[in-house]
Amino acid sequence: MNLQKLLSYTRRAVDDYQMIAPGDKIAVGISGGKDSLALLYALNGLKRFYPNPFTLEAITVAVFNEMDLSPVQALCRELKIPYTIVSTQIGEIIFKERKEENPCSLCAKMRKGAFNEQARALGCSKVAYAHHKDDIVETMLMSLIFEGRFHSFSPRTYLDRMDLTVIRPLMYVPEADLIGFKNRYTLPVCKNPCPADGQTKREYAKNLVRQLNTENPGAKERMFSAVLNGNIPGWPKLSAAPAKPPRPH
């Protein structure tokens, strides 16, 4: 996938769900993985021509302080985007002090809390997460299996306690295209030192979706359509004249 195609996906999502208003200052959550780095590229590219002017702040909440983020720092300097690293003891608390058997939920909650606080401190009105099309399908499946309800990430969510709006501009982008983008543009991906990496419920859902789609070609696309059309509580309505989602490749 080239940058033009990534910008097309992103523009459609932003327009369909009215994610960006004039004057927004958007905090981009950077984990060091391919998805968040692609999101940074996407919003930085969109910023150059989008009719609603906005600015960006990049933020990493360091769960493990030994993680080498110098490649991300170099990228942000190149893109001229301010970059803040929030040092935390989250990894120490979860894996050494509490020794959590199922650490992902607590870790995500603590990371989001630290990220949102930093975003507010920097004067941001919105925060952008790098959840992509596959994430939305996998989350829906996890919700069905483990919670017994039909639910997934919302494209746009207002957090009244923090006075922040969460947006997900990569919602139409298939993960396979993000992998292609990472390889094409040699994104400076930083290795995730998390001990639970690759052993999570999300990894289980990812493998299950892959199996279902192999056995029933097109199943993943139909599940994504079911989420978009599922009238999930809290989901914003499409804009008056939405663009059609890019066709899968």
Evaluate whether residue 9 is within a structural domain: yes
> What does DSSP say about strands 164-167 and 156-159: parallel, antiparallel, or unpaired?
antiparallel
CATH number where 14 lies: 3.40.50.620
* pTM beyond 0.75, yes or no: yes
Residue 129 maps to a domain? yes
Residue 203 forms part of a structural domain:
no
Is 226 within a domain? no
| DSSP-based helix, strand, coil % in the chain, nearest 5 | 45, 10, 40
Helix (H, G, I), strand (E, B) or coil at 172: coil
- With a cut of 90, say whether residue 28 has pLDDT above it: yes
Tell me whether residue 233 is in a domain.
no
Give the containing element (helix H, strand E) for 197.
none
pLDDT digits (tens, 9 = 90+) for 171-199: 999 999 999 999 999 999 987 777 666 56
Asked whether residue 33 is assigned to any structural domain, the reply reads: yes
Q: 3 and 44 in contact (C-beta within 8 Å)?
A: no
**H/E element, 16:** helix 3-16
- Over residues 162-175, the pLDDT tens digits come to 899 999 999 999 99
Residue 87 maps to a domain: yes
Total domains present in the chain: 1
Q: Is the pLDDT of residue 8 over 60?
A: yes
Question: What is the tens place of the pLDDT at every residue in 80-103?
Answer: 999 999 988 777 777 777 766 677
**Taking a C-beta distance cutoff of 8 angstroms, is the pair 129, 157 a contact?**
no
Q: Considering the chain, what is the average pLDDT of its residues?
A: 89
CA–CA separation, 74 vs 71, rounded Å? 5
Domain range for 93 is 3-133+153-190
SS3 40: helix
Q: Cα–Cα distances in Å, from 135 out to 10, 92, 241? A: 15, 27, 25
